[in-house]
A and B are shown apart, each in its own frame.
Chain A
Amino acid sequence: MEIDPFIFRLSIFILSIFIGYYVVWSVTPSLHTPLMSVTNAISSVIIVGAIIAGLAGNSEGIFNSSSIFGFLAISLAAINIFGGFLVTQRMLAMYKKKKKDK
């Protein structure tokens, strides 16, 4: 009997939860705010679905009821991607070590 591809995706999902668990526990508490902003940015990879939805409207015109939601989702996710990564970068640039010259 063949295994449903869903089971493979479920396996990836479960194993990723474990990876997430161990990786996030190793994040230093002083970087918890950048952690939140960067997880925000990466969860916007949902833009992939938004692009598929946006480009699907071509048969009977670019904008139809389905693709318009896709286009809106592209903008929302793009705000998050650019905003999330840039604000993370801005924060991380501020973390400096003690100067050794004293």
Chain B
Amino acid sequence: MISANLSAVFYLISGVLFILALRGLSSPETSRQGNFFGILGMVIAITVTFLSLGNFSSGFIYVLIFLLIGGLIGAFIAYKIPMTAMPELVAGFHSLVGLAAVFVAISAFLNPEAFNLGYPGDIKLGSLIEMSIGAAVGAITFSGSIIAFLKLQGIMSGSPITFKGQHPLNALILISIVVITYLLCSTQSSNLFWILLAISFLIGFLLIIPIGGADMPVVISMLNSYSGWAAAGIGFTLENTALIITGALVGSSGAILSYIMCKGMNRSFFNVILGGFGATEQSSSSVNKEQKPVKSGNAEDAAFLMKNASSVIIVPGYGMAVAQAQHALREMVDTLKKNDIKVSYAIHPVAGRMPGHMNVLLAEANVPYDEVFELEEINNDFANADVAFVIGANDVTNPVAKTDPQSPIFGMPVLDVEKCKSVLFVKRSLSPGYAGIDNDLFYRENTLMLFADAKKMTEDITKNL
């Protein structure tokens, strides 16, 4: 058994290692080392907990068994999961953090002596407040993430679910969470504790159902943030520095990612949270759609254009992930490079279903990361490029965002694809994108539409190069 002071020092060390783990992600070269620091920090935290309890009786065996069961499941999932399913996986993991926080809070509520928090029915006030916050945020994270998971997995429809009185109802529930927490702290009633958990689960569910499928990047980041605050709440209860530091890190990380995602869509955070986007605009724009001329081509035309180009910029989007076209795309690029054509990739902040999703998919397809550029880095290059190859992206290339103040996406940062000499647009049909608005780019003089499945079209182009 080691002293409380010594174990606190070790918890601090593991907190510092977690900071270094995130710091490592500032560049791909240092990132692997960062991940190692993270693992080290976790090993230290767990070992110190065992040593400080000094309890190696039969209970210890059970701890190891449960740890092993979870570990095996986690390792199995980590090796099996396809990279296209990362958003679902992360949403699923968030729900587990949330549920674990709830379970630890329940356990601490039922047996406060084990945590030095007082006695059942007489828990220290500060601890009870911290515990309630941790449990409530954990429960919201859990049920919210489950809904996000179901939507991403396609089990639940991605379209927003809205009903009358939704916002007043949510507001009412949020207020009642505060009231119940107050009552719980003054009466120590266990019934109130269970009610608090139940309505927190409910509000997590209600908060996420009105948010549409393509707003998922914001939702996932937001839930990431919540899982951090839940961990921090429990960290205060347990008086554990490692948990407090980690909770703060994760909480602010998720908040920053949400901010970046909202900015990428030029929408306020509240606009996303209140939900219902994309459901109403659809009808108005499809009514007055006159038949405009569209130039469409086939794989041979596309191959001809690219063969005569000296630089090509590729704009991938979520559609590429759906069609699993990333490997075919890289083969096409390899052929282009053999013909001395300069190729780079342009990634919009909200491409894909979670922050950085496209980068992972391209990395998986062996695309070197120094050929992949963010919007600000590459946007000026479109004017000098010969061909822009848009595959599976739509709204993020729509020039309307720059020109038409009436448009719902006006002001959103977009890739200046139309400035290229010619634009190749791979798409199944002319249907509007997620925002429900027509893409002006389809009807431009320099655009050639390639109507086909993204993967098949890319393969056909490669054959014709």
**Hey, which bits of chain A sit against chain B, CB under 8 A?**
5-6, 9, 12-14, 16-17, 19-21, 23-58, 62, 64-67, 69-99, 102
Find the A residue at minimum CB distance from B14.
Answer: A45
Chain A residues lying within 8 Å of B369, measured Cβ to Cβ, are: 30, 95-97
B392 within 8 A of A: no
Other than the given A33-B356, A43-B227, A90-B78, 6 more pairs (CB < 8 A) read A43-B97, A48-B242, A62-B59, A69-B103, A78-B66, A82-B78
Interface centre among B39, B104, B236, B246 (most CB of A within 10 A): B104
B287 within 8 A of A: no
A74 touches B67 (CB 8 A): yes
A32 touches B355 (CB 8 A): yes
> Min CB distance, A62 to chain B, in Å?
5
B75 within 8 A of A: yes
> Min CB distance, A86 to chain B, in Å?
4
A40 touches B104 (CB 8 A): no
Q: How far is the CA of A13 from the CA of B251 in the complex (A)?
A: 11
Q: Can you list 16 A-B contacts (CB < 8 A)?
A: A16-B249, A26-B23, A28-B26, A31-B356, A40-B90, A44-B100, A45-B242, A52-B238, A53-B108, A71-B66, A77-B70, A79-B71, A92-B28, A93-B32, A94-B366, A95-B369
Chain B residues lying within 8 Å of A20, measured Cβ to Cβ, are: 19, 22, 248-253
Q: A40: which of B94, B114, B248 is its contact (CB, 8 Å)?
A: B94
B158 within 8 A of A: no
Q: How far is the CA of A16 from the CA of B248 in the complex (A)?
A: 6
A19 touches B243 (CB 8 A): no
Find the B residue at minimum CB distance from A90.
Answer: B78
Known contacts: A42-B42, A52-B238. The answer to whether A67 contacts B111 by CB under 8 A is yes
Chain B residues lying within 8 Å of A58, measured Cβ to Cβ, are: 55, 57, 59
Find the A residue at minimum CB distance from B32.
Answer: A92
B356 touches A32 (CB 8 A): yes
Q: Of residues 345 to 366 in B, which have CB atoms within 8 Å of A's CB atoms?
A: 347, 349, 354-357, 359-360, 363-364, 366
A97 touches B67 (CB 8 A): no
Q: A73: which of B107, B115, B366 is its contact (CB, 8 Å)?
A: B107
Chain A residues lying within 8 Å of B256, measured Cβ to Cβ, are: 21, 24-25
B73 within 8 A of A: yes
**Hey, which bits of chain B sit against chain A, CB under 8 A?**
11, 14-15, 18-19, 21-23, 25-28, 31-32, 34-35, 38-39, 41-42, 45-46, 49-50, 53, 55, 57-60, 62-63, 66-75, 77-79, 81, 83, 86, 89-90, 93-94, 96-97, 99-101, 103-104, 106-108, 110-111, 113-115, 126, 220-221, 224, 227-228, 231-232, 234-254, 256-257, 260, 337, 347, 349, 354-357, 359-360, 363-364, 366, 368-372, 374
B69 touches A75 (CB 8 A): yes
Q: Is the interface of B mostly helix, strand, loop or mixed?
A: helix
Q: How far is the CA of A72 from the CA of B355 in the complex (A)?
A: 31
Chain B residues lying within 8 Å of A9, measured Cβ to Cβ, are: 235-236, 239, 241, 244
A86 touches B360 (CB 8 A): no
Chain A residues lying within 8 Å of B220, measured Cβ to Cβ, are: 36
Q: How far is the CA of A62 from the CA of B369 in the complex (A)?
A: 51
Q: B90: which of A16, A19, A36 is its contact (CB, 8 Å)?
A: A36
A42 touches B246 (CB 8 A): yes
Known contacts: A69-B103, A80-B74, A82-B74. The answer to whether A13 contacts B94 by CB under 8 A is no
Interface centre among B45, B253, B337, B371 (most CB of A within 10 A): B253
Q: How far is the CA of A74 from the CA of B115 in the complex (A)?
A: 16
Find the A residue at minimum CB distance from B86.
Answer: A33
> Min CB distance, A91 to chain B, in Å?
6
